Structures are given as C-alpha cells and as structure tokens.
Structure 1
Amino acid sequence: MTHSIAEIAAAIGAEFAGDGALEVRGAAEPQQAGPDQLALAVNPKYADGLAQGRARAAMLWPGADWQQMGLQAAIFAPRGRLAMAGLTSLLDAGPVIAPGVHPLSVVDPSAQLGEGAAIGPFVTIGAGVVIGPNARIASHVSIAEGASLGADALVLQGARIGARVTIGARVIIQPGAVIGSDGFSFVTPEKSGVEEIRETLGQRGDIRAQSWTRIHSLGAVTIGDDVEIGANACIDRGTIRDTTIGRGTKLDNLVHIGHNVQVGDDCLLCGQVGIAGSSRIGNRVVLAGQCGVNDNIFIGDDVICGGATKVFTNAPAGRVLLGYPAVKLETHVEMQKALRRLPRLASKVAAMERVIEKS
C-alpha cells in the first residue's frame, strides 16, 4: 500500500512542501531510504544521511532547506517523535487475521463474538467469554471462562487471559503476556519469620520450622481502555477485589503487577518493573526500567522514578525519585558526589592518623 506525501501530512497534522502527490510505500532511516520510502530526518544531526540514501521525500525539522537536500517533497515535524507516532500508526497494518473463527480454534458455544471479530488458529475461548466488535485474537491465545475483551482489542500470539478478566477497548496485549494468574499470597499458621522481622526491624527470636498455606485469589483483573501490555508481562488476580490497570497506561515487557495492585491512568511502566501486592500507583506515574515498589504503599500522581529505583515508603505526588532506597533526585546526586569523594577523604584521614601516631 502506498501513501502520498499530502495524505501522510494530513494524517499526522503536519505541513508539507513540494510534490504532495509523490507516493511512498514505507519509511526508513535517511542513509537506507530508497526512492519509494520516506526518509526520517526529524533532527539536523540526521541530515548527512540523506546524501547517502536515495530518498525523494523526507520528514524534516521545521525550516529545513529540503530543496538544497535534493528532495522532491518534505513533511515538517515540529515535534519529531510525535509525528513518528502518527506516521507509524498510518503505515502499520498490524497482523493479518481473517475475520471469523479459524477452523483450528475451539470456541465454547456460550461465548459471544462481536461483529467483525477475528480469531486466528489454535485459539481457545472458554465458557461465557465476550469478545467485542472488531477484536483480533492471534494464534495460540487462550481466554478463560467469563473473561471479556472490548471493541478493537488486539491480543497477540501466545497470550494468556485468565478467568473473569475484564479488558477494555483498543487494548493491545503483546505475545506471551499473562493476565489473571494467581496472586502470590501465602500465610503460616504461626507468626512467620518475615512477620517477626517486620515488627522488630531485624531482631530474630527462636528460628523454627514453618510451612506456607495458600490464600486463593477470588478477585480478577480489570484493565481500562487504550492500555498496552508488553511481551511476557504478568498481572496477578486480586485476592478479593480486582487488580486494576487504569485507562491509557502502558506496560513494557517483563513487567510484574502483584495481586490487589491499583495502577492509575496514563502511567508508563518500563521493562522489568515489579510492583508488590496491594500497592496503589497514582495517575501519570513513570517507573523506569527495573524499578521496584514495596507492598502496601502509595505512589502519588505524577511521580517519576529513575531506572532501578526501589521505593519502600509512600511517595508524595509530583516527586522525582532515584536510588536504592529511593530519595529525591537532587539528594541522590549529592549522595553520589559525596560517594566519589570518599577515597580522597579516606586518604586524608589515614594521613592524619599517621601524624597523630607519631606525635
């Protein structure tokens, strides 16, 4: 499928110059772009690559001299990455899944499939499942009894959706994600070593044998509209109430959401983030890669945590955190400066000790 320069500019709300009827089949980096591809050079530092490629049209920064670059047409993107979001959406046709149910899939007779739903091969859909209009289910997906998917949802290869899970409209679930697995919740008949340590902050009495008794998960998972779940992410069911993911939130690959967790709207949880059970995450929170959140705490709206931050206590709204344990960003920077000065400080102390010993 081809798109004209004028069509692309209109789709992403940008201005263009030159031959608006010029058509391209896709996009490429400047040095690799062919004559039928749109070169992506939204920053002046990418301009040199245009001379290495063969593109006739490019997406450029505002004010770029596109004619001097030998182009026949240009699209101007004041905010490059935002323009790329619109462009990639236009060019991405998504997986090819034929409407209807593939003959190699198993759908319970009580399941309800919305108009235009597409079910790929080797899919299993349980009793009472509701699939919204135009939802697409790729191969090897399983959807357990009582679950529901909203309109235009996309579930990709090998994802697992557990019993009674509710998924909103336009949700995207990447391959291998597991939504609605059992919560990791166990208790000991007697006070456990973990409970004792929490009470005493490190002091232990007699160490004795103990065994773990399962607390079953009676809740499920509720996911709002426009959420994206990354590959191999795991979201556990709630113990009594549902684990919830708010509207517009994005989860990266390998994110783990524990039982009873509540994540707000429009959050961004990057790769390998782990949130322990019963914690609450506000709206528009950003947790960078490998962040960890303790159980039973609250992170306020608009908090940003840098990579590998470990949050052990409640975080006020708007706070920027970094480090282990999490502290304010500016405090962490000062701590790191002091840490780098420690070798020199140790040398000075050692020199002073030698002087004192001789006196």
Structure 2
Amino acid sequence: MNKTLKELSEFLGGKLHGNGNIIISGVGDLESAKEGQISFIKDKTYLEKSKSSKASAIIIPPGIEIPEVPAIEIENPYLAFSKLLGIIYKSKQVFFKGIHSTAVIGKDVKIGLNVSVGPCTVVEDSVSIQDNTVICSNVYIGTKSIIGTNCLIYPNVSIREESELGNNVIIHCGTVIGSDGFGYIPVKEKYHKIPQIGKVVIEDDVEIGSNSSIDRATIDKTLICKGVKIDNQVHVAHNVVIGENTILLAHVTIAGSTKIGKHCVFSGQSGAIDNLTVGDNVIAASRAGILQDTPSNSVLWGMPALPIKEQKKITLATKNLPELSREFRELKKKVEKLEEKMK
C-alpha cells in the first residue's frame, strides 16, 4: 500500500490525529499488527488492547483518544478499515487482460470496453458482455446471456442460456447460474421431466459464493434482487424471488416459487419450503425450517421454525422431559395402587 497516514485520512474522509507523514504499508488486527501497519477499534471495549498494539496507526471512532499512537478518527472505523482492505485486495488480484487466444467466442457476441476473457472460457452465440467486466478461466456463458458492467466471474462458473446479470455482480468459483429447476410429474412408476424454459435474473450489486446453484424458472424468471449476498453452497430453486439486500448464509435452501422479502437474514443450514411468502426483515436462525408464510419482522428458530421466544421455551421445557417422565411413572404407579385399593 505504502501511503502516508495523511493520504489515508483524506481517502477515508476522516480526521487526522498525530503525525500524518508516517508510511503505512499494510493492515493488521490489534494483536498481530506490526510496525508500518494500521489497525482499528470499533469502540472503547478495545481501548486496553490498543495500548499494547504495535500498530503504527489506529482508526478510532469519535470520543476515543489514544495520544501515544497516530490515529484517524471516523464515524465507522470498521467500514473505513474494510475500505483499506479493498485497496490491498485489488492489488493482489491479477487477471488476464484482453481476450485469451484459447477462449471460444461464438457468433454475434457483443463485448464492451476493457473486458477480459480468460483461458479456455466458452462464450456462446449472441451473448452481451458489457464494459470493465472480467471473465476468468474455464467459464461457460450460454446463448443470449447478458453480463453487465464491472462484473467479476471467477473460474469454473457456468452461466446457462438467457441468464441476465446486472452491474457489479461477483460470482465465485464453481457456481451454476440457470441450471434446470427440479420439476417432475409422477406418471405411474416413473417421473416425467417438466421442461424448464424460464431464466435467471440477477440484479445489480449481488455477490454469490462458491459452489452455489441458482435454478432457472420453469417459466418466467428466478429473481435475485439488488444487493443480495449469497454464501457458499446455497441452493435457490426455480421461480424463487430473493428480495433486495437479503443475506443467505452457507447451506441455505429456498424451495421452488417461494418469495423472500427485503433485508432478510437466513443463517447457516436454514431454509424454506416451496410456495411460501416470507416478509421483510425476517431472521431465520441456524437450521430454522420455515414451513408456512411468515410476516415481516419475525425472528424464527427451530424445525418447524417458530418465533424464537416460543422456541426457546420449548427447548427449555424439553430439557425437563426426563425428570417429568420419571415423575409421571411414579404418579402412575400411585394411581394404580389407589385404584387397586378402591376395588
């Protein structure tokens, strides 16, 4: 990075405290930071740790002072620190420039300015790839797909035919966009496959982790709305709608035709069955299984998923079951003895 603290303060829009001429070459946490690195504290609970840190500078929130160490004061130190991480992250990312000689480009493909297509990538006919997008090696892009501006598609991603990606979309290794939805009709002892002729639409500023699957719609579209963040190994089935700025963590499964609202959080291994409507601002705790329509602002836990306060009561009561079972057996014996005496 090699920038002065003053330059970083101006870049972040913060208030400089102390020597602005020191050179910052990297970042680190409070405990492991070395000379030349900058760290951060979110609040006063980290103040004691900061005093023993070897960091050359610290990003601090308003109302906190560390006179011994140069600092940048800013409203959200964590966000500011992440912006510095972004500088380093970009410097570490080196992609092939231009269209590699081993890439296979179909007919009537539209490629914008400053687009990179890596080795052994296949771009089928009538695809549109817009400005400043990077397509890494071994990617497959199906016929008539649209890739927006400033997208980053990592190696071994498959984007099936007629998929649409907005701007600033990031898709990590091994993910499949537009695979067939799981649709079959039982016919006697066999299953008849339902052709999946819809598509996947991914709006702006979406990031999808590695080895996830977003299935195409049976008809119409599977929709991933603006700002959604999807972790690794997540399955979104056909005709699902994921609302704006919702987060799906690892191993989440959303079954077909379910609609998830805005600003929801689905924790690891949680999910929802098909044809449900889940409102806005819903939180599904880890392993929550949503089996019914859910109103906005709900916090759910358990299988079947219930309001978390109710589920906690059930969990606590469950711990008492062995003792209650023992008491029940004793009471049953007493009742049997009383009935015997009354004969």
TM-score when normalising by structure 1 = 0.88
Counterpart for residue 219 of structure 1: 198
1:133 aligns with 2:131: yes
Match of 2:341 in 1: none
Q: Which residue identity lines up with residue 85 of structure 2 in the other structure?
A: T
**Pairing partner for 1:327 from 306, 312, 324:** 306
**Where does residue 2 of structure 1 map in the other structure?**
2
Task: Confirm whether residue 25 of structure 1 aligns to residue 25 of structure 2.
Answer: yes
Q: Which residue of 1 aligns with 2:87?
A: 90
Q: In the TM superposition, what is the alpha-carbon distance from 1:54 to its structure 2 partner? A: 3.2
Q: Deviations over 1:219-258 (max 9, x none)?
A: 1100000000111110011111111100111111011000
Structure 1: where are the runs of 5+ without partners? 191-209
Q: Are the counterparts in 2 of residues 303 and 317 from structure 1 also a CA contact under 8 Å? A: yes
| Displacement of 1:59 | 2.3
Share of identical aligned residues, percent? 31
CA distance in 2, matches of 1:339, 1:11: 55
- Is residue 2:298 matched to residue 1:300? no
1:76 aligns with 2:55: no
For 1:87, what is the secondary structure of its paired residue?
helix
1:352 aligns to what?
A: 331
Q: What's the counterpart of residue 60 of structure 2?
A: 60
- 8 Å CA contact 2:284, 2:299 repeated in 1: yes
Deviates more, 1:5-14 or 1:260-269: 5-14
With over 3 angstroms needed to count, the CA separation of the structure-2 counterparts of 1:323 and 1:14, relative to structure 1, is farther
For residues 347 and 14 of structure 1, what CA distance do their matches in structure 2 show? Answer: 65
Greater mean deviation of Cα atoms: 338-347 or 51-60: 51-60
CA–CA distance in structure 1, aligned partners of residues 120 and 53 of structure 2: 43
Inter-partner Cα distance in structure 1 for 2:109 and 2:23:
44
Give the RMSD, CA atoms, in angstroms. Answer: 2.0
Structure 2 counterpart of 1:164, which letter? E
C-alpha separation in 2, matches of 1:3 and 1:343: 64
CA distance in 2, matches of 1:272, 1:299: 18
1:314 pairs with one of 293, 303, 310: 293
Deviation at 1:136, TM superposition (A): 0.8
Q: Contact (CA 8 Å) 1:27, 1:40: kept in 2 or not?
A: no
Provide Cα deviations, 1:22-81, integer angstroms capped at 9, x if missing partner.
23222112232222211234345555555665321122344444224xx2x112354343
Q: Which runs of 4+ in 1 moved over 6 A?
A: none
Q: Which amino acid aligns with 1:344?
A: E
Matched, 1:291 2:270: yes
Tell me, which stretches of 5 or more residues in structure 2 are unaligned? 339-343
- Where 1:91 maps in the other structure, the secondary structure is helix
How far apart, CA to CA, are the structure 2 residues paired with 1:342 and 1:231? 42
Partner residue of 1:16?
16
Is contact 1:282–1:301 with CA below 8 Å preserved after alignment?
Answer: yes
- The answer to whether structure 1 residue 279 and structure 2 residue 258 are counterparts is yes
Match of 1:259 in 2: 238
Partners of 2:263 and 2:158 in 1: how far apart?
27
* 1:79-116 Cα deviation digits (max 9, x unpaired): 34333333322332162124311222222242111101
Shift of 1:286: 1.2
1:321 is paired with a residue whose SS is strand
For these two proteins, the number of residue pairs brought into alignment is 337
What do residues 272-324 of structure 1 show as CA deviations (whole Å, max 9, x unaligned)?
Answer: 10011111111111111111110111111111111111011111122111111
- 1:173 corresponds in structure 2 to 171
SS in 2 for 1:59: strand
* Per-residue Cα deviation, 1:160-180 (whole angstroms, up to 9, x for no partner): 111110000000111111101
CA offsets 1:168-203 (integer angstroms, 9 cap, x no match):
00001111111011111111235xxxxxxxxxxxxx
Preserved CA contact (<8 Å) 2:4 2:21:
yes
1:8 Cα deviation after fit: 2.7
CA offset at residue 338 of structure 1? 1.4
The structure-2 alpha-carbon separation of the partners of 1:80 and 1:290, relative to structure 1 and needing over 3 Å to count, comes to farther
Q: Is the 8 A contact 2:142 2:160 kept in 1?
A: yes
Opposite residue 29 of structure 1, the aligned amino acid is D
Please say if residues 24 and 56 of structure 2, whose CA atoms lie closer than 8 Å, have aligned partners that are also in contact. no
> What are the Cα deviations for residues 124-153 of structure 1, in whole angstroms up to 9, with x where unaligned?
111111111000111221111111111100
Contact kept, 8 Å, 2:40 with 2:77, in 1: the verdict is no
User: What is the aligned partner in structure 2 of residue 189 from structure 1?
Assistant: 187
Q: Is the 8 A contact 2:262 2:280 kept in 1?
A: yes
Letter in 2 for 1:121: P
Counterpart-to-counterpart distance in 1, 2:77 and 2:209: 24
1:358 Cα deviation (Å)? 4.1
Cα pair 1:30 1:47 within 8 Å, conserved: no
SS for the counterpart of 2:309 is helix
Aligned to 2:110: 112
What residue number does 1:121 align with?
119
